[in-house]
Amino acid sequence: MAEGFILEIPEQVGQPVAARRTPQAKTREWPAGTRIISADSHMLESDLWVDRFPPHLRDAAPRMIFKDGGWDLSINGRSMTPNPVARHLCDALECYPGLTSVEARLKDLDIEGVEKELIFPQRLFGLMMFGEIEHKEHVFGAYNTHISEMCAQAPGRLYSVMVPSYWDPEAARDSVARCLELGARCLMIPIKPGKFADGRTIQYNHPRMDPLWEAIQGSGLPLAFHIGEAIPTAEAGAVGVSVLTQMQGFRQNWAQLTFGGVFDRFPGLKAVFVEAGLAWVASMLHDADMIYNSFPTSVSPRLAHPPSWYWRTNCYATFMTDPVGLELLHRIGPETCLWSSDYPHQESTFGYTRGALEAVFRACSVEDAQKIVGKTALDLFRMNAP
């Protein structure tokens, strides 16, 4: 291992930026029955909004245009990405063919042995950084239609994540039904959802959100939270500070659903916490059960089970590489863990995917490893269905 690193996958160390990597070819066969599924991969949006907006609102539609060496996403002429940053993103990953071309992507997946992917957005997270998004029903509705069309280019390989009407829970039934109609296999809502139209802050543990949880539970689709909404500062170390803090975990979102009684009211709701790894889960569950035990007269609403019970019953977390988390599987539950490649991000396993998968098989039994690298995702995201 390179001096000064604690990374435990040799092929991971010294990887170039994602746009300059090559997929890792097969070195050996996996144990019989292994299915390799990425529970979190990404695709770059195109200039998809204008033509899908109502004619009278098209001037307010987001625009995604390649100019001056990078992709510029803007609303009402306000760019989300300064040109030097856009050019850097292009050079590092956003101009890599597999981020936009389904054909190029599938070639990489075939070499690295990834059978199927769940597709999350790329720049849609950037819109969430802007603050309050106007015309959400059109912004997210257009994206949902677009990603459905992209995944339809590779049936049985690519599966879409869509955004329901989290800002208008009263409309959730129709919104979720539309996502199902478009072929969604997972529904994503923001970590920081902003405000309702009446100015009140959206709180996921407020009963006002129950129509959304009811609609999602009824759909049978899992709910996802994904890192990527934080705004990096312009100060020294911005990238390190931004990525490190986002990968701390999802304590607030999980606590709102658990201590807020959402899982008790909607026991069929499944929640997936994406791209923060596994290790955060073990300490969170200890702390949650400590609170439940130490504040018996203060925890309200009264829960039907200890908090850790809801994790093992209702929740999942994705990771790319996490040696510490894999050592804690007995505390987290291997059945709640989902491997992902995060293709083709900087922090993705692209270029050493087979090495990352080897680490999972070294860390646990073949049975548990096969759940983690694919079998659980196949069932959770209904990937065995057309």
Lowest mean pLDDT among 27-31, 77-81, 175-179, 345-349: 77-81
Each residue's pLDDT tens digit, 241-287: 888 888 888 999 999 999 999 999 999 999 999 999 999 999 999 99
* Per-residue pLDDT at 53: 97
Mean pLDDT of 161-180: 97
Rounded to 5°, angle at Cα 214 from 210 and 218: 170
DSSP codes, 64-121: EEEETTEEEEEETTEESS-HHHHHHHIIIIITSGGGT-HHHHHHHHHHHT--EEEEE-
pLDDT score of 247: 81
Which residue from 29, 44, 66, 13 is spatially nearest to 343, judged by alpha carbons? 44
Residue range 341-363: mean pLDDT, rounded: 97
In this prediction, residue 233 carries a pLDDT of 63
Which is more confidently placed, 58 or 4?
Answer: 58
Give the model confidence (pLDDT) of 70-94 as tens digits: 999 998 888 888 899 899 999 999 9
For residue 23, give the amino acid letter: P
pLDDT value at 1 more than 80: no
| pLDDT reported for residue 81 | 84
Q: Mind listing the domains of the chain with CATH numbers?
A: 41-54+104-380 (3.20.20.140)
Name the token pair of 367: 């049975």
Q: For 88-92, 228-232, 338-342, which range has the lowest pLDDT when averaged over its residues?
A: 228-232
What is the predicted pLDDT for the residue at 386?
A: 65
Q: What span, in angstroms and rounded, lies between the C-alpha atoms of 171 and 164?
A: 9
68: buried, middle or exposed (CB in 10 Å: 19+, 13-18, 0-12)?
A: exposed
Convert the pLDDT of each residue in 110-161 to its tens digit. 999 999 999 999 999 888 766 678 899 999 999 999 999 999 999 999 999 9
Average pLDDT, the chain: 94
Task: Quote the pTM value.
Answer: 0.96
CB 120 within 8 A of CB 42: yes
The answer, yes or no, to whether residue 49 has pLDDT greater than 90, is: yes
379 C-beta neighbours (distance < 10 Å), count? 11
Share of the chain above pLDDT 70, in %: 96
Report the residue count for the chain.
386
Q: DSSP 3-state helix, strand, coil percentages of the chain (rounded to 5)? A: 45, 15, 40
Q: Which amino acid is at 195?
A: K
Dihedral angle computed from the Cα positions of residues 93, 96, 101 and 107, in that order, rounded to the nearest 10 degrees: -110
Give the pLDDT band (50/70/90) at residue 3.
Answer: low
